[in-house]
Each structure stands twice: as structure tokens, then as C-alpha cells.
Amino acid sequence: MSGDHSHSEDQVDGGSRFNDSHKHKDKYKEKEHKHKDHKKDKERDKSKHGNSDHKDSSDKKHRDKEKMKHKDGSTDKYKDKHKEKRKEEKMKSFDGKVKKEKENGFASPHVKSEPEDDIYHSPKHEKSLKRERDDDNDSEFKPKKIKTEIKTENDKRAKKRKPDEVRNNHEQKEFSIFSNILLKAQNEGTPEEPGRLKWEEERYTDGSKWKFLEHKGPVFAPPYEPLPSNVKFYYDGKHMKLSPGAEEVATFFAKMLDHEYTTKDIFRKNFFKDWRKEMTAEEKAKLTDLKKCDFSEMSDYFKAQSEARKAMTKDEKLKIKAENERLLQEYGFCIMDNHKERIANFRIEPPGLFRGRGDHPKMGMLKRRIRPQDIIINCSKDSEHPKPPPGTKWKEVRHDNKVTWLVSWTENIQGSIKYIMLNPSSRIKGEKDWQKYETARRLKKCVDRIRNQYREDWKSKEMRIRQRAVALYFIDKLALRAGNEKEEGETADTVGCCSLRVEHIKLYPENDGQEYVVEFDFLGKDSIRYYNKVPVEKRVFKNLQLFMENKEPDDDLFDRLNTSVLNKHLQELMDGLTAKVFRTYNASITLQQQLKELTSGEDNVPAKILSYNRANRAVAILCNHQRAPPKTFEKSMQNLQTKIDAKRGQLSDAKRDLKSAKADAKIRRDEKSKKTVETKKKAVQRIEEQLMKLEVQATDREENKQIALGTSKLNYLDPRISVAWCKKWGIPVEKIYNKTQREKFAWAIDMAEDDYEF
């Protein structure tokens, strides 16, 4: 494949790829189970494929294969542990209860038992901030090492991160230009504090991200407001007054009552388990069955509140807006290296029920309230430190300038760290973004060499090298994600390239008139289904057959490969190269090619924008960026069609009028009738333009039904390509990027000329 390889050509089923993706998530699940249930059938299939493929393989090849299998040491070097785990799961599945869970599409969740007397007191105003429960006791995740000596830990952290890559002169110079542009853009947008405006154009070479950082800390979720006494909860048909703690958690469930989540067994089970932890002993004894709980009055109350909010007077709404603006001004900005920067998420996530995506084993668990004593503040020593709410303390205040975050805390569901960071429009984020695209541009220069290399590696004597080469081919050709290994039972069962299992692909020596077709069917990030049928090169096909030999459906396809091995290899091929860079590179290069192909100079502005959206769409399809069709989709399409029909009627009327005006003018031959003809002509033109706009809108909307353009636009497409395209064709950049996007890509808007090449 060369730089201009076309993905769309390779996608046999490209056109209909997304039509059924969402509604078929469940079907997919069913299918997965069928795979397991019909293992024997699959085995037969496999041997069938195997037979046909072995027709042309000699005994020598078989001997080579055997040799290859053992050359790199013992088998299943990398993935033994995970494989074993899956096997264990399989064994467990014979146990009735677990088996039932699996049938429901959930892997056996890893649930740790908790002390029953661990009661969570729901907070009430200031008092609420003092909880009896110890953090470390209520978490579901494994306890992490407790850091005691701040200074030592800071030193360690500083050591941990390598200084940013040293640039060559050209890059340093370009970076300087970049900084100036970003400064200019930011200074136009935000007024600087007098005396604070002091920009350093040079980047820190010691790995520091900043020298000065000052902020006001986070905004906490508002305290829980107990329900009014007329809003009642019923158990088994009888009214029951809940304790504040139990009531708060109950409201989380009530607020989600209309959502599909609350119908899912695992969600209900997790919720009920965590809810019970918040109950008093008396409540715990009484409330034993979620099915008997009636949250409907609570649910109605919240719906009424929501309606009331909508029905507020203009003044009331303005008041709220002003208060939000005040909070934004106070907490939404920081000073980083004496420059005022917007903070992305200055509000702490409120408590609620965890909404994992796909078949997440932890969905429904209680996300606990974050308090000041959970919060780590990061700022510079010489700054004015943020103050915790009265009567509280921060967990820690640290001064680590090797990181970019301002605030962090550990969440209780997965035990992962959450951060408050800067807005994408900030210098620090913009610079990182720019670097990302520069790395992708460097890949462009050496991608042919890398492709030749992995093609050579398909013939390697070593299994691990062949696997690496085939995986890389998929990452490059199909823009698959790297695919880290995941802990089973902790998250939804999703995969990427390196973690693909045998059950995720099917091989067809011949399919729909094409040779060597691979069918992919798996759940990727966010449990979005990836379905694609792709013809591949013969060697890839043969290798896949080899990788699948003697394996169970739930065995790893690439058992000698993981992301770490792959990225190490990529690093050797190009400095800074990782699997992710291929996605950025292929997305950006595809946009550039598609724009060249689709844009016609003769088109008017709406037609050109349609071309842009189509190019954007090609990338979104490549990256498998899907969305659920909007709930109002069918209706809004219908409305649009009605408008189009009406406009068509209007057009034929106008044309008829024009015709008769022309005939009239022919007879009369006076100035007045000539003018009438001109007016009618203009009317026809105007209506034609309006009709065209509507038709373009309808096409665009229809094509976008299940495809999300925003993700690729924001994360994968070098904005300079879009800016250059706008400049070249005289399209206002506002037509392509909204305000937020223009702020994020301010650097590109100023930097790119109409001749920019990715």
C-alpha cells in the first residue's frame, strides 16, 4: 500500500457498514454466545478453510511452520495469563449462577464483599463534608500504595517523566512561530492582567510544563437537598421514610428511571448492593427486594422540577446565567506562566450512579461524593494556593511542574485518577496538538519504508514478527486502535488490534467474487461494534490461518504480541512513532486526498461544504466513529422532505409565471413587461438556489445518520488541511469550525496558508 492507498476500495461492505450497527449490538452479543455454543460448527468451518488452504502448502511449509512456532521460545509468551483467566472464566461458566450472567452478556464480575456495617452518611450542607466512612474502606478496587512523603514522591515523579524530545533547529524555529501565533490568538480573546503578560517563547528543556501556576481550586457538587415531605417512597406498596443517606442514593436511581440502564439486571444488582450500604440497619432489614421499591413519585418530582426550570421567566434564567458566569470567572481560569488560561472542567463530578458503556460489569455502582479531603491540588509554590471550603482540608497540595493538571482525585469505581486540566484552547494543549500532527507528518515521510518492512516481515521465520507485521498492517490499513489488554470482569469486553481474539475474525478464501476476504466483527472502544469485510493480501490471509491454527475461539489471535512490544518496534522505526500515530496520519491524509478529489471549483459554497463533509465522513467511516441515530431523525427528515416538495412546487409555479411573462413581453414589447420578465427570472433563480440548499442539507443529513463527524474533526484531522482548503476556495472558516473549534485550532487558522500540504 502506498501513501495514497484507498481505504474505501478495500471495504467491501463499506456502504451498509453502519446501517445496523447500533440496533445489532444485542444481536452481536447473541452471536458471540452462538459462537461459543457452536464451537463444533466453527471447528468444522475452520478445518474446511484449513483444507482448502493447505491444498497449496507443501510439507516443507508445514515443517517450517512447526519450526517457526518454537523458534522464539515457549509458546504463548505474552498472553498466557490472560488466556488462563479466560479459561477459568469458561470453567466457572458451568456454575449455574455465573453461567446465567454470561448468558446475559456479562462476564463474571469480580465483586469483593464489603463489611456490612460500613454506612455512608449522605452529606448535608457544611456538615456533609465530614463523613465517618474512611475512603480506603469503601472502595471496590484494590488499594493502592499510600504516598507518605510528599517531597520524595515529587522527586520520584519528576524522575519518572522524561524531558520532552529535543527538537532540531527547524522544529525549534517552527515552534517559536507556533507559540507566537497562539499568543496572538489568545491575547485577542482574553484580556491579560496588567503586568502579568510575560511570555516565554522558548520551551522548557527539562521536562517542565510550567514555572508558575495559580488557580482557585475546584467547584464542588452542590450538597444534597432532601426531598419535600410530600414526595414519598413506597416499599411493597407502603410509604416508607428513608434516611437522608439512603434517600440521596434512591434519588440517583429515580432520576434514571426512564433510562434503559435501570432495566438491566447488572445495573440493578450493583445499584441495590451499593444502595444497601447507605441504608440504616432498619432500612437494610426491610428493603430486601428492589422490585418492590416504588420510586415513581421521586421520578415525577424531578420531571416536574425540570419542567419548572424550562418554564422559568427570562429574568430567573438570566440570574442563573449570571451566577454561572460568576463561577466561571472565579474558578474557570488559571494563571499559567503569567498567562490567563481557561480551565476545561473546573467542576468536580457530582455523585451518582456509574454509567459504564456496553456491558460494563460495574454499571449502577454508586459514584461517591468527592470531598475536599479527597482532592490533590497542584500549583506552584509561589502562587496563592486555593483555599479549601471552611472547616475542611485538601488531601494534599503539591507543586509538580512536570505535569499539566491542576486538581486530581481518585474515583471509587475503578480506582482511577481523575484530573482537572486546561481547556483545549490553552497554549499547553494547543502545542501538544500541533506536535501530534507534526509526528504524523513525519510518518508520511517514512510510511513507505515502514510498509515495505512489514510486508517483508510477513515472511519472517519468527511467529512473533509475523504477528507483529500483520497487526501493523491492520492498524495501518483499517485504522484500528492498538488494543491494550484489559482486566476481565473490571470493564466491558472490548478489543483493539493486538487484543483481537480468534472469534472476532472469519476468513473467506473467496467471498462475493473477491479473494482472501477477512470479516471483522468485534466491539471496540465504548463498545461500538466494528464490522468490516476486507480483502487482504494472500500472505496476510495465510498468516491469519496460521495464527488461528489449533486455537479456541476465545484465544488471542496475536498471542505473541501486545501493544508494548508493538510500540517498542515502532519506536525503532521512527522516533515518536506509536500505533496511535497511524490513525492520525491515515485520517489526515485521507481528508486531504478526499478534499482534492471531491472539491470542484465550479461548485457554489453549499456544494463545497457538502464535499468537505463528505471528506470528513470518509475519515469518520475509516475510524469507525459512530453515533446513535438522533431520536428525532426520521421526523426531521420527513419535515425536510416536505419542505423540499413545497419548494419544488414553488419552483414550478415560478417557472410557469416566467414563461407567461416572457410570452406577454413578446406581444407587448414594452419596458414594463421586460422588467417583469427580469423579476420573474430572478425569482426562479432564487428558488432554485433555495431548493438546492435544501437538497444538499437532506443528503448531508441522511449520510450522517449514524456517523459522528465531530470526533475525527477534533482529534484526528490536522486542522491546517481544513484551514488551507477554506482559504483556497474562499469558504469562511466559520462554516467548518464553530466557535469552540476555532478557539482550539486558533494556531492552525493563523498558521496555514492556502497551499498547506499535510
Positions annotated as catalytic residues are 716
With CA atoms as reference, report the closest residue to 232 among 263, 254, 252: 254
Question: Is there binding between residue 616 and DNA (CB under 7 A)?
Answer: no
Smallest distance, DNA to C-beta of residue 513, A: 31
With CA atoms as reference, report the closest residue to 107 among 404, 493, 391, 482: 493
Among 75, 172, 636, 641, binds DNA (CB under 7 A): 636
First to last CA, the chain: 18
| Grid coordinates given for 520 | 471483522
Contacts to DNA from residues 245-274, by CB under 7 A: 259
Contacts to DNA from residues 709-728, by CB under 7 A: 710-712, 715-716
Distance CA 661, CA 680 (A): 8
Question: Is there binding between residue 78 and DNA (CB under 7 A)?
Answer: yes
Smallest distance, DNA to C-beta of residue 417, A: 5
Following DSSP, what letter does each residue of 142-159 receive, concatenated? Answer: PPPPPP--HHHHHHHHHH
Among 53, 171, 411, 537, binds DNA (CB under 7 A): 411
> Do 720 and 754 contact (CB within 8 A), yes or no?
no
Question: Is there binding between residue 584 and DNA (CB under 7 A)?
Answer: yes
3-state helix, strand, coil in the chain (%, to 5): 55, 10, 40
Q: Pick the piece of the chain touching DNA (CB under 7 A) from 55-63, 132-140, 397-405, 505-513.
A: 397-405
Residues in contact with DNA, counted by CB under 7 A, come to a total of: 100
Q: Pick the piece of the chain touching DNA (CB under 7 A) from 106-114, 356-364, 550-558, 608-616.
A: 356-364
Contacts to DNA from residues 524-543, by CB under 7 A: 524-528
Task: Map residue 332 onto helix, strand or coil.
Answer: coil
Alpha-carbon torsion 656, 662, 666, 671, what sign? positive
Question: Is there binding between residue 356 and DNA (CB under 7 A)?
Answer: yes
Distance CA 564, CA 242 (A): 51
Nearest CB to DNA, comparing residues 301 and 516: 301
With CA atoms as reference, report the closest residue to 559 among 196, 41, 69: 69
Print the binding letters for residues 650-689 with DNA: x by CB under 7 A, - otherwise: ----------------------------------------
Smallest distance, DNA to C-beta of residue 625, A: 4
Question: Is there binding between residue 21 and DNA (CB under 7 A)?
Answer: no
Question: Is there binding between residue 627 and DNA (CB under 7 A)?
Answer: yes
Question: Is there binding between residue 429 and DNA (CB under 7 A)?
Answer: yes
Question: Is there binding between residue 419 and DNA (CB under 7 A)?
Answer: yes
| Grid coordinates given for 213 | 501556576
| Grid coordinates given for 493 | 469486553
Beta strands in 431-504 (DSSP E): none
Question: Is there binding between residue 417 and DNA (CB under 7 A)?
Answer: yes
Question: Is there binding between residue 407 and DNA (CB under 7 A)?
Answer: no
Distance CA 605, CA 611 (A): 10
Question: Is there binding between residue 641 and DNA (CB under 7 A)?
Answer: no
Nearest CB to DNA, comparing residues 225 and 487: 487
Q: Which residues contact 660 (CB under 8 A, 6 or more apart)?
A: none
Question: Is there binding between residue 11 and DNA (CB under 7 A)?
Answer: no
Q: Pick the piece of the chain touching DNA (CB under 7 A) from 43-51, 88-96, 535-543, 736-744.
A: 736-744
Contacts to DNA from residues 37-76, by CB under 7 A: none
Contacts to DNA from residues 456-485, by CB under 7 A: 481-484
Among 344, 450, 692, 733, binds DNA (CB under 7 A): 344
Distance CA 44, CA 26 (A): 26
Nearest CB to DNA, comparing residues 240 and 607: 607
Nearest CB to DNA, comparing residues 192 and 490: 490
What does the angle CA 322 – CA 328 – CA 331 come to, to the nearest 5 degrees?
135
Smallest distance, DNA to C-beta of residue 144, A: 4
Smallest distance, DNA to C-beta of residue 70, A: 16
Contacts to DNA from residues 87-106, by CB under 7 A: none
With CA atoms as reference, report the closest residue to 79 among 581, 644, 554: 554
Question: Is there binding between residue 296 and DNA (CB under 7 A)?
Answer: no
The 3 state secondary structure assigned to 551-620 is CCCCCECCCCCCHHHHHHHHHHHCCCCCHHHHHHHHHHHHHHHHHHHHCCCCCCHHHHHHHHHHHHHHHH
Nearest CB to DNA, comparing residues 594 and 712: 712
> Do 340 and 333 contact (CB within 8 A), yes or no?
yes
Question: Is there binding between residue 736 and DNA (CB under 7 A)?
Answer: no
Distance CA 149, CA 282 (A): 43
- Per DSSP, helices labelled H in 458-495 are 463-478
Among 407, 534, 623, 717, binds DNA (CB under 7 A): 623
Dihedral (Cα; 262, 265, 268, 269), 10-degree rounding: -170
Nearest CB to DNA, comparing residues 417 and 663: 417
Question: Is there binding between residue 23 and DNA (CB under 7 A)?
Answer: no
Smallest distance, DNA to C-beta of residue 258, A: 8
Among 218, 245, 364, 496, binds DNA (CB under 7 A): 496
Cell 459554497 locates to 605
Question: Is there binding between residue 367 and DNA (CB under 7 A)?
Answer: yes
Question: Is there binding between residue 225 and DNA (CB under 7 A)?
Answer: no
Beta bridge partners of 102: none
